[in-house]
Structure 1
Amino acid sequence: MKQRTIAKSIEIVGIGLHKGVPVKMKLEPLDSDMGIVFYRVDAGVTIPLKKEYVVDTKMATVIGKDGVVISTIEHLLSAVYAYGIDNLRIVIDNDEVPVLDGSSAGYCMLLEEAGIKELEKSKKAIKIKKMVEVTTPDGKRVCLKPSNRIVYDFEIDFEHPAIGKQKFHFDYSISEYKENISRARTFGFLHEVQYLRSIGLAQGGSMENAIVLDQTKVLNPEGLRFDDEFVRHKILDAIGDMALLEYTMVGEYDAIAGSHHLNHLLTKKLFESAENYEIIDLEEASSEAVVFEMAYANADN
Structure 2
Amino acid sequence: MKQTTLADQVVIEGIGVHQGRPARVVLHPAEAGSGITFLRTQLANGRERLIEARSHAVRDTQLCTVIGDDTGATVATIEHLMAALAGLGIDNVLVEVDGPEMPILDGSSRLFVEAIDQVGLRTLSAPRKVVKVLKPVRVEHGQSVVELLPRAEGFRLDVEIAFDSKVIGRQAFGIDLDPTAFRRDVAAARTFGFMRDVERLWKAGLALGASLENTIAVGEDAVVNPEGLRFPNEFVRHKLLDAIGDLSLAGYAIQGHYKAFCPGHKLNAMILDALFADRSAYALVETQRRPVRSAGELLQPAAAFAPDIN
Interval containing the TM-score (normalised by the shorter chain):
over 0.9
For 2:155, the equivalent position in structure 1 comes to 150
For 2:224, the equivalent position in structure 1 comes to 219
Q: Distance in 2 between matches of 1:126 and 1:201?
A: 34
For 1:160, the equivalent position in structure 2 comes to 165
Q: Distance in 2 between matches of 1:50 and 1:186?
A: 23
Deviation sequence 1:169-212 (CA, Å, 0-9, x none): 11212111111101110000012122211232211100100100
RMSD: 1.8
For 1:30, the equivalent position in structure 2 comes to 30
What letter corresponds to residue 246 of structure 2 in structure 1? Answer: D
For 1:48, the equivalent position in structure 2 comes to 52
For 1:59, the equivalent position in structure 2 comes to 63
For 1:12, the equivalent position in structure 2 comes to 12
TM-score normalized with structure 1 length: 0.93
Structure 1 residue 289, shift from structure 2 partner: 6.6
Cα pair 1:14 1:98 within 8 Å, conserved: yes
Structure 1 residue 219, shift from structure 2 partner: 0.4
Deviation sequence 1:102-145 (CA, Å, 0-9, x none): 00001111111121111111111111110001013x33101100
For 2:284, the equivalent position in structure 1 comes to 279
Q: Distance in 2 between matches of 1:64 and 1:73?
A: 11
Q: Distance in 1 between matches of 2:5 and 2:28?
A: 9
What letter corresponds to residue 134 of structure 1 in structure 2? Answer: V
What letter corresponds to residue 140 of structure 1 in structure 2? Answer: S
Q: Distance in 2 between matches of 1:251 and 1:189?
A: 33
Paired residues in the alignment total 291
For 2:79, the equivalent position in structure 1 comes to 74
For 1:140, the equivalent position in structure 2 comes to 144
What letter corresponds to residue 16 of structure 1 in structure 2? Answer: G
Q: Distance in 2 between matches of 1:19 and 1:171?
A: 34
* Aligned-pair identity (%): 38
Quick check: 171-180 or 239-248, which moved more? 171-180
Residues 35 and 285 of structure 1, relative CA distance in 2, 3 Å threshold? farther
Residues 236 and 71 of structure 1, relative CA distance in 2, 3 Å threshold? same
For 1:124, the equivalent position in structure 2 comes to 129
SS class of match (1:283):
strand
Structure 1 residue 273, shift from structure 2 partner: 1.6
Q: Does 1:204 align with 2:209?
A: yes
Cα pair 1:38 1:49 within 8 Å, conserved: yes
For 1:176, the equivalent position in structure 2 comes to 181
Cα pair 1:282 1:289 within 8 Å, conserved: no
For 1:242, the equivalent position in structure 2 comes to 247
Q: Distance in 1 between matches of 2:105 and 2:219?
A: 22
Specify which of 179, 187, 192 is matched with residue 192 of structure 2. Answer: 187
For 1:295, the equivalent position in structure 2 comes to none
Aligned residue runs from structure 1 range 234-273, under 5 A: 234-273=239-278
For 2:109, the equivalent position in structure 1 comes to 104
Cα pair 1:186 1:230 within 8 Å, conserved: yes
SS class of match (1:282):
strand
Q: Distance in 1 between matches of 2:143 and 2:164?
A: 15
Deviation sequence 1:22-60 (CA, Å, 0-9, x none): 110000000111111001121211101111111000110
SS class of match (1:271):
helix
TM-score normalized with structure 2 length: 0.90
Cα pair 2:289 2:300 within 8 Å, conserved: no
